[in-house]
Structure 1
Amino acid sequence: MNHPLSASRLLSALFLLMAACLAATTGSPLRSAAAPPPPPHVLTPPLEESPFRATGPSVTMPSDGLLPDDLTATSKIVFQSYRDNNWEIYVARGNGGYPVRLTYDAAPDLAPRLSPAALQVAFTSRRTGTYEIFVANVNGSNLRQVTPNGGDDAGAAWSFDGTRFVYESYVNGQWDVFVINVDGSNPQRLTNSPDYDGTAAWSPDGTKIAFTSRRSGELGVWVMNADGSGQTRFDTAFG
C-alpha cells in the first residue's frame, strides 16, 4: 500500500539529519543532571565535548561551527559555534564569510533554525537553567522565550507557515514530541511513549509530522497527523 506522504517532500531533510547522526560517535546531546539524554542526533549536539563531526556520506562540519541552516532568500546561513569559548549563534554569508554573533549569554545557545520567511531564528538555550526554545530576529533583536521552564525542550522545527514549532521535551522521565505556537501559547503533547520520541519535522502542508522513535525497539521514522493521531511506522529500521 502506498503511503499518503511523499518521502522526498516530507522526510528528505530528516533523513539527511539522521544520516549525519548515525555517523556520529560523540555521545549524548543534552548534559542535564535532571534528565537522561535522548539518542544522539544533530539537533541537540554535545555541549562539553569536541564539536560534532559526521564522517559518512553526509555533511562534514568545520571544527568551530555546527548545525548550519540556510537563509536561502538572502544567501546567508545561521550556525552555532564555540569560537568565543562558548556555544553561541552566528549568522554569516552563504560561503561562511563575515560571521556575526547573534547571542551573548554564558549558557550554551544551540541548534539554530530559520523561519520560512528567513526573518527569525529559533534556537535552544540553557540560559534559564533548563534547555528551552527561544526566538530572535536574524539580527539578534527581539529575543524571547517560547517554551516554559521545566523539563528540557529542544530541537525546534518551524511549520511551513511559520506559526508553530514541533519539538522534543523531557516530561515525566521520557522524551516526547510536542507542538507549540511561536508566541509560546497552546503547547500540546503529541506522543507518549516510554522510549525516545523526537527529531521531528513538518510536512509542507502542515498536516503531518515525521519523527524518530525507538518504541519498536529500534530507531526508525514514524509519521502522525499534526494533532498526534494516526502514529504509524514509515520506514525500515535505522538500527
Structure 2
Amino acid sequence: MPRPPLLIRSFRAVTLVVLSLLMVALPDADAQVVIKKSSQINVDVERFGGPNGSSAAAVVQQDLKATPGFRLAKVAGSTWTVKGVVQDNALQGSLIDPTGRARFSRRYTAPSLATAAHQLSGDVIYEITGTRGLPGSKIVFSGSAGRGREIFICDWDGKNLKQLTSDGSLAVSPAISPDGRKVAFTSYRSGYPDVWVLDLPTARRQRAYNSPGTNTGAAFSPDGRRIALTMSFSGNPELYVGPATGGRARQLTKTIEVESSPSWSPDGRQVAYVTSRGAGPRIAIVSAGGGRPKILNTGHGYNTEPSWSPDGKQIAFNVRGSGGMQIAVYEISTGRTRIVGSGEAPHWGPDSQHVVATKGGDLVLINTADGSTRTIVKGRRAKEPSWTIR
C-alpha cells in the first residue's frame, strides 16, 4: 500500500510546579508540611562548597523562589536548610529540617551542573511537601530548524535548550517518557511519517512503527513500557497500543472517524483522545484494553489535544474561542470545564497545577490555578510540547 505523507497532528499538553500555599508544621519527624493558605515555607540555601558551588546554589535558590509557597528566609525554629558541595563533577546535596534532623543526603550527577541543581531542588520540594515540583523535570517540543522542524529538549524553566534531532526534514509530535530517558516522535526523513524512539542517555534511536500510511502521535504509558499512537494502515486513522520498543500493535478503536492525540490516565487503565465524531472534534475516553468509548461533554464544540493530569483529576485540552485557541481544564469528578488561558497543545507538568503550551510560536508555562503565564523559550516556532511527570 502506498504511504502518502499525511500528517495528523498529535494534540497534547503540560504543567508546572508544586503546591499551593503551605503551613510549616511538624507533628513528628517524618511529617510533611500541611497545606494552608496563610503561611509559607522558609528555606535557607547555604553557600555551596567546591568549584562552581555558588552557581549551583543560585540555581536552587531560583527554583525554590519560583515555587508557590516557598520563601527564601531564615527564621528561627521554622527554617529548612539546603546544603551542598560540588566535587568531581557532581553535586552532593542535603536537606535539614527545622528540628536539625537530616532528611536526606544525595549525590547528583548530570550532563550539566545546572541540571544536577534542578534535581536537588525537586527532591527538596518533594521531601517537604510530598508533591512533585517542577525543578528537575524536562520538556521536549518540535521547533524550527533551517527549512524543517527538529526535536528540542530543555529544563522546566527553558534553560539548557538542546537540539536532539538533525533529520533535515520534519520531526514532530514528540513525547517524553515519564522518567525522562526516552523520546518518541514522528519523523519524515524517510519521506513517510514513522515513529522513532530516541534513548537520551545513549543518543541511540530506533524506528518503532513504520506501517503503511501514517504513524504519529505517540504517547508513553505511565510505566513507559507501551505507546499509544495513531496509525492508518487499515485505511482509517485509528488508535493502537504497542510496545515502546516497537512490534505488533493492538487496535483500540474501530470507527469511520479520525482518532488521534492519545493521552494515558495515570493508572494506565484508560486513554483520552480526540475523535472527529459529530459536528466538531471531541474528547473521548476508552479503556486501554479497548471497548466502547465515552464522549466527554465539555460544553464546547471544538475540542483537541487532551492531556491527562498526573494526579488523575483533570484533563487539559484546547477549545476554539472568539479570540483564538484557548486552554480548558475538564474536572473528572464534577464534569465541569473552565478556561485557564490562551495557547495551544497544553501538557501537564508533574505538579498537576501547571501546563506547558505554545503561544505565538513561543513555549509558555501556565499556572492553571490563577492563569498566570510565563514565557520560557522564544523564537523557535514551538509546537506540541511534552513534559516529564517525575
Question: TM tier, shorter chain?
Answer: 0.7 to 0.9
Q: How far off its partner does 1:9 sit?
A: 4.5
Partner of 1:172: 322
The 1:148–1:75 alpha-carbon spacing in structure 2 relative to 1, beyond 3 Å, is: same
Q: How far off its partner does 1:127 sit?
A: 1.2
The 1:54–1:131 alpha-carbon spacing in structure 2 relative to 1, beyond 3 Å, is: same
Q: What's the C-alpha RMSD, in Å, of the aligned pairs? A: 3.3
| Unmatched segments (≥5 aa) in structure 1 | 25-40, 44-49
Q: Are the counterparts in 2 of residues 20 and 54 from structure 1 also a CA contact under 8 Å?
A: no
Determine which of 334, 348, 353 is the counterpart of 1:202: 348
Q: Are the counterparts in 2 of residues 147 and 184 from structure 1 also a CA contact under 8 Å?
A: no
Determine which of 146, 149, 165 is the counterpart of 1:23: 149
Determine which of 354, 358, 362 is the counterpart of 1:220: 362
Partner of 1:42: 173
Spell out, residue by residue over 1:87-131, the C-alpha distance to the aligned partner (whole angstroms, 9 max, x if none).
Answer: 100111233223111111111001111112111111111012311
Q: Are the counterparts in 1 of residues 193 and 215 from structure 2 also a CA contact under 8 Å?
A: no
Partner of 2:310: 160
**Residues of 1 paired with 2:290 and 2:144: CA distance?**
28
Q: Answer 1 or 2: higher relative contact order, Cα 8 Å, separation at least 6.
A: 2
Spell out, residue by residue over 1:17-76, the C-alpha distance to the aligned partner (whole angstroms, 9 max, x if none).
Answer: 32499617xxxxxxxxxxxxxxxx739xxxxxx964699x99876354212222253722
Partner of 1:95: 245
Q: Are the counterparts in 2 of residues 147 and 153 from structure 1 also a CA contact under 8 Å?
A: no
Percent of aligned pairs with the same residue? 15
Q: Are the counterparts in 2 of residues 179 and 189 from structure 1 also a CA contact under 8 Å?
A: yes
The 1:234–1:78 alpha-carbon spacing in structure 2 relative to 1, beyond 3 Å, is: same
**Residues of 2 paired with 1:74 and 1:18: CA distance?**
21
- Bigger Rg, which one: 2
Q: Are the counterparts in 2 of residues 9 and 203 from structure 1 also a CA contact under 8 Å?
A: no
Determine which of 91, 105, 130 is the counterpart of 2:280: 130
| Residues paired across the two proteins, number | 206
Partner of 2:43: none
1:233 maps onto 2:375 in alignment: yes
Q: Are the counterparts in 2 of residues 146 and 184 from structure 1 also a CA contact under 8 Å?
A: no
Stretch moving more, 167-176 or 122-131: 167-176
**Residues of 2 paired with 1:20 and 1:122: CA distance?**
28
Amino acid at match of 2:374: T
What's the TM-score once normalised by structure 1's chain length? 0.72
